[in-house]
Every structure is written in C-alpha cells, then in structure tokens.
Amino acid sequence: MDKLAIVVPCYNEEEVLKIASLTLRDVLEDLIHKGKISDDSYILFVNDGSTDRTWELIEEEHAAYPTRVCGVKLAGNVGHQFALTAGLITAKDMSDVTISIDADMQDDVTVIEEMIDKFHAGCDVVYGVRKERKTDTFFKRTTAQAFYKFMNLMGVKTIYNHADFRLMSRRAVEEFSKYKETNLFLRGMIPLIGYRTDSVYYDRKERVAGESKYPFKKMLALAFNGISSFSIKPISMILGSGIMIIFLSILAAIYALLSYFMGHVVPGWTSLILSIWFLGGMQLIAIGLVGQYIGKIYLEVKGRPRYNIEKILTGSGTKDA
Ligand code: UDP
Ligand code: MG
C-alpha cells in the first residue's frame, strides 16, 4: 500500500490552519478506509517563517494527531516555492507519493481521490487544473491568464490554469530534487521531469479565511522569475531586433541618399541619419550576441539533469532506472 504525504506550505495561516488540518485528515481517513493509501499516510505542514501563531497551531495538531499531522519549521520566510520544495524533499524519504496543496483550501480536496487513482494507474505526476476562475476577481483572472499565455509565447512550457496543486510520485520528487537551481518556478520545472502525467479538473473556491499572501507585486515577481528562469528568448529578441534594424537601415539609406541627391537636405543630415540607423542596429546585434553567450552560461550554471532515464532493456531483463 502506498504511503501518501500531503504537503502544505503555510505563511501566516492561523485562521485556516485548523480547518485545513481537519479537512485533509478527513480526506486521508476516507482514502485509508477505501484501501487506497496506507494507514500511516500523513499531512506535512511547512511553516514558512510565519509571524503569527501558525507554528503553535501545527504543534498543537501534531500533539493531538501525532502520526497524522507532521510539521516542518523553516527558520525564516523563504516564499511559497521554496517552502513547498522543502516540504516535498522532506516528504520524499518518508512517503511513496506526495500531493501539494495550499493551506487556504481553495483547491478542491475531493479530486485528491481521483489523483490517487491516476497514480495507481501509472501516472507519476497528476496536475490539478482549474476549470474556471469564477471566484477569482476579474483582475486576478485576467492577469493570471495573460501570464500563462505570455509564458507560452516566451517558450516556457506550463500547464494552463494549473497552480501548485499536484500529485508527484516518489521518483518524480527524487528527480525534481536533482534540479539545484535557486530561481525556483515549480510549474515550469515539473514538466521537464517527464514520466506519464495526467490532469484532474476542479473549480477553485474562495479562501476559507484570511487574505491572499500573493499580492500583485509578488505575482509580478513570480511571473518575471518564471520567464527569466526558463527562457533566454528575451536575449534572442534583442539580437533579432538588431538584425531587423540593420535591414531597416538599408531602407533608411535609400531614402537619405535619394533626399540628398534631390538636393533638399540640410548639410550633415544624410551622414547623420545613415550612421544612426546603421550603428543602432550594429549595437543591438553586438549586445544580442554577447547575450547569447551569457544565456548559454546561464543555462550551463543551472546544472539541470540532461535527461531522465525511466527504463532500460538489457540482456538480463528490464530495469527501472
Ligand atoms: N505561502 C508561503 N509563503 C509565502 C507566501 C505564501 O508558504 O511567502 C503559502 C500560503 O500560506 C498558501 C500558499 O502559499 O498556502 C498560496 O498562497 P495564497 O493562497 O495566499 O495565494 P493565492 O491563492 O492568493 O494565489
Ligand atoms: Mg490561495
């Protein structure tokens, strides 16, 4: 039987912690009762340097349900993505499968069973995907959707409308832990792991209590981090625009020379216009070229795994890698 760990990052979530604990304990009991997970499955709350009573509440829950509720206390606030990573990597050696979910219970816990079913059917990663965003404000909805579209345009593969509610098998977390980068953007990294994946669909609810810990500023930072951690396309765009301007400078040259020979130009204008266009283009190309090398260095220093072998067929039989 597979042991499930539900990983919950918490930052100043005193209003919702008890509700989250109760809700998730019910989910676990139900799944254990149905024989889908082992009876030592547990919830792992990760306290991300909260300044309120969140950690005391986690301790209380752990005292009341020692095997069911566990906790990790981070020494300070490191942000959602790091807190979640800390939780997943801690849970990896103490479980067969993990599910990450936010503390505010906006994500529908009833699809957890479906996630587990898909895991048993052979999926290593199951994404929770929002059907609609009725409960989000108009502003959050449009900005978030524009964000996914823009990410795609920039060449970052993400699952549309999927946040960080997902199931990962132990070997998927194991592979994920090999990504040593500091600029974490989990939604972009998980698809790089490979393996069989699937999605479950749900309606996102309102926060049960408290306020969003993701104000617009943090969302912008996440979006920028998402693009800059995965794509060197912006650099290629500089190079591209340099090449375009060099072409335009040919048109500008024709125009400037024509005007010159027609004779109605101020002295000095032709040579000025020609050099502005040509030099502008050359400078952009030069910056773009240097950028290409920096981009490559950037991708090298990340030291990401180059591939992930799932199975090997040899003379002595099939081996799981
Ligand atoms: N969170 C965290 N550290 C932070 C900010 C948020 O661990 O610095 C957690 C938070 O407690 C919640 C999850 O990340 O469990 C998502 O945050 P929130 O629900 O506020 O984001 P939203 O749903 O509004 O995008
Ligand atoms: Mg939320």
The rounded distance, in Å, linking the Cα atoms of 8 and 4 is: 13
**Who surrounds ion ligand 2 at CB < 5 A?**
102, 104, 106
What is the pLDDT, as a whole number, of residue 38? Answer: 94
**What is the Å distance from ligand 1's center to 48 Cα?**
10
Q: What is the pLDDT of residue 70?
A: 95
Higher pLDDT, 17 or 315: 17
Contact indicator for 92, 170 with CB cutoff of 8 Å: yes
In this prediction, residue 245 carries a pLDDT of: 93
Q: Which residue puts its alpha carbon closest to atom 19 of ligand 1?
A: 212
Kind plus residue range of the DSSP H or E element containing 75: none
Q: How far are the Cα atoms of 38, 209, 215, 260 from residue 220, in angstroms, in the given order? A: 40, 24, 9, 49
As given in the structure block, the two tokens for residue 160 are 């549309």
48 within 8 A of 79, measured Cβ to Cβ: yes
Q: Is the pTM of this model over 0.95?
A: no
Mean pLDDT score across all residues of the chain? 90
Count the neighbouring beta carbons within 10 Å of the beta carbon of residue 275: 12
Coil, helix or strand at residue 226: helix
The CB density around residue 180, as the number of other CB atoms within 10 Å, is: 10
Ligand 1 pocket list (CB less than 6 A): 9-11, 13, 48, 77, 79-80, 83, 102-104, 106, 212-214
Atom of ligand 1 nearest to the CA of 213: 20
Q: For residue 102, which atom of ligand 1 is closest to its CA?
A: 15
Mean pLDDT score, 27-37: 94
Residue 78 CA: which ligand 1 atom is closest? 8
Non-local CB neighbours of 195 within 8 Å, separated by 6+ positions:
123, 124, 125, 169, 171, 172, 308, 310
In this structure, which residue's CA is closest to atom 24 in ligand 1? 212
Q: What is the pLDDT of residue 162?
A: 86
Site to probe by mutation for ligand 1, drawn from 10, 11, 208 as the one with most ligand atoms within 8 Å of Cβ, is: 11
Residues 175-199 pLDDT 10s? 999 999 888 888 888 999 999 999 9
Q: Given a cut of 80, is residue 100 above it in pLDDT?
A: yes
Query: What digits encode the pLDDT tens for the residues 193-237?
Result: 999 999 999 988 777 777 777 777 887 888 888 888 888 888 999
Q: pLDDT tens for residues 246-282? A: 999 999 889 988 988 888 788 888 888 889 989 999 9
Contact 94, 47 (CB under 8 A): no
Question: What is residue 5's DSSP assignment?
Answer: E
Distances from the Cα of 289 to the Cαs of 243, 282, 284, 298, in angstroms? 11, 10, 8, 14
C-alpha distances (whole Å) from 30 to each of 10, 96, 124, 250, 253 are 24, 18, 22, 72, 75
Kindly tell me the burial class for residue 34, based on how many C-beta atoms sit within 10 Å of its own C-beta (0-12, 13-18, 19 or more): exposed
Helix axes 186-193, 80-92, angle to 10 degrees: 40
Give the pLDDT mean for 78-104: 94
How far apart, in whole angstroms, are the C-alpha atoms of residue 66 and residue 75?
22
